[in-house]
Amino acid sequence: MRQAHGDLDEIEPRLDDFPGEAEPPRPPRALRVAKRAVVVVCPAVVLVHLVLVFLYVAPSNPISQRLNGPIQAWVSPYFEQNWLLFAPNPESNKTKIFARTGWTTPAGDHATSDWFDISAVDKADTRHNPFPSHTTQNMLRRSWSAYQSSHPGGDDSNTPWALLRAKYLRNLAVQRVAPHSPHPFQVVQVKVVTQPIPPPGGTTDQSDANEPYTRVLPWWNVAPDGN
């Protein structure tokens, strides 16, 4: 019996015969470094974002004045802050934006198209549309407002910001007029007609204050790619 018992002991399973749960392999070093970098960079970006947005909406101060360039570059156009949702500012003018193109004929003469109302195209796409696009509602109008603010005394782009706004308006004009132009063109020109909206009730006299104002911009060259 002792011998039999010994045989049973020999065949009795031992814990060593069943290895425990294997330790999971460690991720590669590069992956660990990438995770640590994300943990460090993400809070830093959020902190910088909050600081720049705070300086953008805060009253003007020496810090915001010194960092005006980085603040504007970070906030505009994706993080722009304003109070229009709570205090909308209705338009005080009716603005019509026209564009015309110029090209060189095979005979070497210079030809010019008629003025084309590019703002009317956006208005047609917006009117009676239950889900109007932000592009057709505001892009062209706001590009003109930005051009006005960056070119208050003329049409010379004396700063990089003004040059950027001029290119933006030019590119929009090219984009809007190109589908309606029968010819390839090398130059484009923009004309803006502003009609003041009189206040309700006719409280002011219908004098020169309500006369439309026309501003014709210089010719802009257009690259072969349309920009």
Classified as helix, coil or strand, 185 is coil
pLDDT of residue 16: 53
Nearest to 114 by CA among 181, 21, 213: 181
The CA distances from residue 122 to 30, 96, 127, 129, 225, in Å, are: 51, 11, 9, 11, 23
- 151-186 pLDDT tens trace: 888 898 888 888 999 999 999 999 999 988 888 899
- CA-nearest of 38, 36, 73, 42 to 56 is 73
Owner of token pair 């049973």: 8
What does DSSP assign to residue 113?
P
Confidence of residue 1 (pLDDT cuts 50, 70, 90): very low
pLDDT band at 8 (very low <50, low <70, confident <90, very high): very low
Mean pLDDT confidence for 215-224: 87
Domain definitions of the chain by residue range:
26-87, 93-221
Residue 17 has pLDDT above 70, yes or no: no
pLDDT value for 77: 67
